[in-house]
Amino acid sequence: MSEVAEHQRAVQQALRTIAQSADPDVCFPALLRSVLSTTHASAATLWMFGDLALQYTTTMDDMLPEIAHIYPVVEAQQAPIDINDDLAQIMGWPNAIVGCVRLHGSLIGAVAFTTETDDSTDPEYFNALETILNMIAVYMRHLHSQARHEKLMRNQSEFIRIVSHDLRTPLTSIKGFASMLEAASVGDMNDKQLHFVEKILSGILQLTYLVDNMQDAGRYDPETGFYEMERTPVDLTEVAARIVENHLVPAEKQDLNLQTDIGDDIPIISADLTMFERAITNLVDNAIKYTPNGGQVVVGVHRLNDDLVISIKDNGLGIDPENQKTLFERGVRVVRKEHVRVKGSGLGLFIVRSVALRHGGDAWVESELGSGSSFFIRVPLDAENAIIN
Ligand code: ADP
pLDDT digits 0-9 by tens, 255-273: 999 999 999 889 999 999 9
Please state the length of the chain.
389
Separation of alpha carbons 28 and 290, rounded Å:
52
For residue range 62-88, list pLDDT tens digits in order: 678 899 999 999 999 999 999 999 999
Give the residue, by CA position, lying nearest to ligand 1 atom 24.
Answer: 290
Q: Is the dihedral of CA 205, 211, 216, 217 positive or negative?
A: positive
Backbone angles phi and psi of 257, in degrees to 5:
-95, 105
Tell me the CA–centroid distance for residue 349 and ligand 1, in Å: 7
Question: In the beta sheet, which residues pair with residue 48?
Answer: 54, 109
Please indicate whether residue 330, judged by its CB atom, sits closer than 6 Å to ligand 1. no
List the one residue out of 26, 58, 65, 63 whose CA is nearest residue 42. 58
Least confident of 51-65, 255-269, 365-379: 51-65
Tell me the CA–centroid distance for residue 386 and ligand 1, in Å: 31
Residue 153: predicted pLDDT: 85
Cβ(382)–Cβ(307) under 8 Å? no
Please indicate whether residue 346, judged by its CB atom, sits closer than 6 Å to ligand 1. yes
Cβ(347)–Cβ(214) under 8 Å? yes
Ligand 1, from 349, 350, 373: best to mutate by most atoms within 8 Å of Cβ? Answer: 349
Residue 60: predicted pLDDT: 76
Residue 119: predicted pLDDT: 64
Which residue intervals of 183-255 are DSSP H helices? 191-220, 236-246, 248-253
Please indicate whether residue 374, judged by its CB atom, sits closer than 6 Å to ligand 1. no
Residue 3: predicted pLDDT: 66
H helix count then E strand count, the chain: 11, 12
Separation of alpha carbons 79 and 208, rounded Å:
60
Residue 118: predicted pLDDT: 67
Backbone angles phi and psi of 47, in degrees to 5:
-125, 140
Pick 27 or 157 by higher pLDDT: 27
- Quick count: other Cβ atoms within 10 Å of Cβ 78? 6
